Amino acid sequence: MSWHDGFRDILTENRPLRDLTTWRMGGTARFFFEPRSIDETAQLLRVIAREGLSFLVLGGGANLLIDDGVHLSPIIHFSKLAEFEQHGGSVTAGAGRSFPRIVADTAQAGFEGCDVLAGIPGQMGGICAMNAGGRWGEIKDVVRKITFVDKDGEVGDLSRDAIGFRYRGTALPQGAIVRVDLELKPADDPGAPRRRVAEILKTKGAAQPLREPSGGCVFKNPPGDSTGKIVETLGLKGLRIGDAEVSTIHGNFIVNKGCARFDDMLEVMATIERRVFDSRGIRLEREVKIWRSGVGAVGLKG
């Protein structure tokens, strides 16, 4: 009898992760779970807590760099929690709902709020956990509440204020966002949100390397400055180690030219950090999350 026997229907063992990240990188998950409901998620987290394990939640795999090894911590993915409902400006979406689809659907329906987040990849849960955003807004501007399962399997709703949104993050403890409620505004001109989405996608298509696998912006912007611009000024665009290359289009993206290895990515990042610190005295902060195999897999019993 092993700890995961009760979850056979939702467990894939030794699941490759590469196709689940926008960087197209990552080793394998020893235990990969796709819960079908909030209750099932809560049950799973209770068992994981009982076993003394830590776990990871994989959203749309954007902004995430996963190492090439075998990841022993259970990984939870909400591909089966992807419901979507819209009544007027009130939207409810499962954590696994594709965010670009939400952007397209709500804009098509003539509602403002998500339209300004066009071009951001990921799933609803991850978008919220990262407080994803950019020049035109952040998800926190439209979140009304979330449903959250904490690390002990307790389910509860948290209002926007209780989430503690900050720049590219939240104050949430360990756990999983399983559902998100948004409040959008009807546009005066119902065609406007759709046009704004098209404009933003066009602008981003010219300024960002959207055709190549990447993790989006690698670093946060220093206050009042742009990391991409600094990297460009230092002549680091095009810097390449193995198949990891600083994009020639936007300096805050590192693209995978084919078979980039985790160590090559880290080395490109470290080079940028060193050069920016040496020349500007700025310590860049990483925006991307990094998952290392072997970290956190305490007390695993098979």
- CB of residue 109 to ligand EPU, shortest distance in Å: 23
- CB of residue 119 to ligand EPU, shortest distance in Å: 7
Q: Helices in the chain by DSSP H: which ranges? A: 38-50, 99-108, 124-129, 160-163, 192-207, 227-233, 262-280
Task: Give, in order, the Cα–Cα distances in Å from 168 to each of 63, 180, 215, 289, 293.
Answer: 11, 17, 14, 11, 24
Segment 84-143, which members bind ligand EPU (CB under 6 A)? 134-136
Q: Is 217 in the site for ligand EPU (CB under 6 A)?
A: yes
Please check whether residue 247 is in contact with residue 255, taking contact to mean a CB–CB distance below 8 angstroms: yes
Region near ligand EPU per CB under 6 A, out of 67-75, 95-103, 152-160, 245-253: 245-253
Region near ligand EPU per CB under 6 A, out of 26-34, 81-89, 249-257, 294-302: 249-257
CA nearest neighbour of 113 among 196, 171, 178, 203: 196
> Residue 235 is encoded by which pair of tokens?
């002549």
Can you tell me the distance from the alpha carbon of 14 to that of 201, in angstroms, rounded to the nearest whole number? 36
Segment 278-297, which members bind ligand EPU (CB under 6 A)? 287
Three-class SS of residue 124? helix
Spell out, one character per residue from 3 to 42, where the chain touches ligand EPU: x when CB under 6 A holds, - when not. Answer: ----------------------------------------
From the list 111, 251, 260, 272, which residue makes contact with ligand EPU (rule: CB under 6 A)? 251
- CB of residue 288 to ligand EPU, shortest distance in Å: 8
Element (H, E) at 131: none
From the list 41, 106, 170, 221, which residue makes contact with ligand EPU (rule: CB under 6 A)? 221
The residue at minimum Cβ distance from ligand EPU is 134
Residue 158: other Cβ atoms inside 10 A:
16
Q: Is 195 in the site for ligand EPU (CB under 6 A)?
A: no
From the list 4, 24, 97, 250, which residue makes contact with ligand EPU (rule: CB under 6 A)? 250
Three-class SS of residue 27? coil
Instruction: Give the position of tokens 């050069």.
Output: 275
Number of residues lying near ligand EPU (CB under 6 A)? 17
Nearer to ligand EPU, 72 or 265 (CB): 265
Instruction: Give the position of tokens 């002549």.
Output: 235
Please check whether residue 58 is in contact with residue 20, taking contact to mean a CB–CB distance below 8 angstroms: yes
* Residues at the site binding ligand EPU, with contacts judged by CB under 6 A: 63, 134-136, 207, 216-217, 220-221, 226, 228-229, 232, 250-252, 287
